[in-house]
Structure 1
Amino acid sequence: MKLLVLGATGPTGRHLVDLAVRSGDSVTALVRNPAGLGDLVDKVTPVTGDATSRRDIAAALAGHDAIVSALGRGNSVRADGLFSRASAAVTEAARETGVSRLVWLSSFGVGHTFDWSSTPQKLIYSTLLRSLYADKVIADDGIRSSGLDWTVVLPTRLTHGPAKGAYLADDRLPMKGNPSISRADVAAFMHRAAHGAEWIHRSPVITD
């Protein structure tokens, strides 16, 4: 399968790229700086570009089977429009190039899943993460109305732990406490979702 990966140099994206390469996929990574791919740079096709640019995405996307986005803001709690601008660029580029499959990383607590959160979670989502989550709402809603074969993935708190290979994934998973899931397991789920039809037009919550 030919995958275009956004956010390939981030902590979840690197897991995703590594898994895709080991699985035999042909991977193109749209990145601002190919050096950020580290030892993966020789195993993929790096394309220098901006994930919020329709033109850059469309140029990289032609001839691929799917887009998988693991874009994130690192340690920043301000969105600066990254997710809303990137989702608009991605959906426009996908329509332009005829690539319909899109797997998009969001977060548990965004949009309709806010009501399923615990009280402590709601406090964090509505204060510290307010900017990020408000922008993700715009992005996710745009993707769901895009007409593409989308999957919006909603993981709980991300950790840097090893993949367990076992996790819960469902359209509705009300939470207690502060559940988490490793970035490695999230990457594995996204990779599997891109290769199948089970999660098309669905927004799975995933957690350990």
Structure 2
Amino acid sequence: MNVALFGASGATGKHVLAALLAEGITVRALCRNGTALDAFVDELTEVEAEVTVVEGELTSKKAVQKTMRGCDAVICLFGPHPPYTDLFCADATALIVESMHSLNISHLLCQTGAMFGDYPDNRSWAMQEMVDSFQHRHPELAEDRSEQERIVKSSGLQWTLIKPPRLTTGAVNEEIQVGDDLPVGVLSSASRATIAHWLVQELHHPVHIGEALFFLD
């Protein structure tokens, strides 16, 4: 299996990249700094497949399509960093979706987060209050992420949205709770290693097509 990975240099992205390579899944990753990602891969002890690093920007159609060429699925893990002035998720996702159609790739797994979108039934009262406060402080960020989800849902692809709560550095929990109706609260969390492990399983056996999934360790 060949997978295009966008956001490989981030904290979750590195866990996912390591899990894919350990499982023997070939990866093509788009990265601004290819040297740094190559150095990370060189330090991995379990590598059963190859990774090709494509240097470029998420705004470049040429770079995005080069990353996807020959792939069976696409994973998106990118997101902005504080102070959230560089908002790009919706535009980047739209370009990725367009490129997937051009290259006849249908399987898309995209991570956003439990804080984004209109999911009051999945949040405790306190969690929803925190979401409302965050969206009030960062309305442009909230809209960018919500638009990203709308693009995925209307893409016509075999999509899955991944919406973990607070991400941690914990170990893999193979018994993690996953569901589109799963309630999460202020103290809910999921480890990046667990998300990576789950993604590998979903790639092999996609059973959550067309679902926006919440996670709870």
**Deviation above 6 Å: which 4+ runs of structure 1?**
none
> In structure 2, how many angstroms separate the alpha carbons of the residues matched to 1:128 and 1:177?
13
The unaligned stretches of length 5 or more in structure 2 are: 44-49
Shift of 1:58: 1.1
SS of structure 2 residue aligned to 1:46:
strand
Partner deviation per Cα, 1:118-161 (whole Å, 9 max, x = no partner): 23322332233534332111001111101011111111111122
* C-alpha contact 2:121 2:181 (8 A) present in aligned 1: no
CA contact (8 A) 1:109 1:115 kept: no
* 1:133 has 2:134 as partner: no
Normalised TM-score (structure 2) = 0.87
My pick for the range that moved more, 8-17 or 27-36, is 27-36
Preserved CA contact (<8 Å) 1:118 1:175:
yes
Aligned equivalent of 2:47: none
1:105 and 2:111 correspond = yes
Amino acid at match of 2:75: V
Partner of 2:214: 205
Matched with 1:23 is 23
Post-superposition Cα deviations, 1:50-100, rounded to whole Å, max 9, x if no partner, equal 1233332112211110111111224x1526332101111110110111111
**Which amino acid in structure 2 is aligned with residue 174 of structure 1?**
P
Question: Aligned equivalents of 1:101 and 1:108: distance in 2?
Answer: 22
Q: What corresponds to 1:146 in structure 2?
A: 155
* Corresponding residue to 2:204 among 180, 189, 195: 195
| Superposed CA offset, 1:151-184 (max 9, x none) | 1111111112222222100111123442001111
The residue aligned with 2:128 is 122
Paired residue total:
207
Deviates more, 1:44-53 or 1:188-197: 188-197
- CA–CA separation in structure 1 for the residues paired with 2:36 and 2:216: 28
Structure 1 segments unaligned to the other structure (5+ residues): none
Please tell me whether residue 35 in structure 1 is matched to residue 41 in structure 2: no
Q: Distance in 2 between matches of 1:151 and 1:81?
A: 22
Question: Is the Cα contact below 8 Å between 2:126 and 2:185 reproduced in 1?
Answer: no
Matched, 1:157 2:163: no
Q: Residue 153 of structure 1 contacts residue 190 of structure 1 at CA under 8 Å; is this kept in 2? A: no
What is the distance in 1 between the residues matched to 2:85 and 2:152? Answer: 17
SS of 1:190's partner is helix
- Inter-partner Cα distance in structure 2 for 1:197 and 1:92: 22
Is the CA contact 1:30–1:60 (under 8 Å) kept in the aligned structure 2? yes
More displaced, 97-106 or 30-39?
30-39
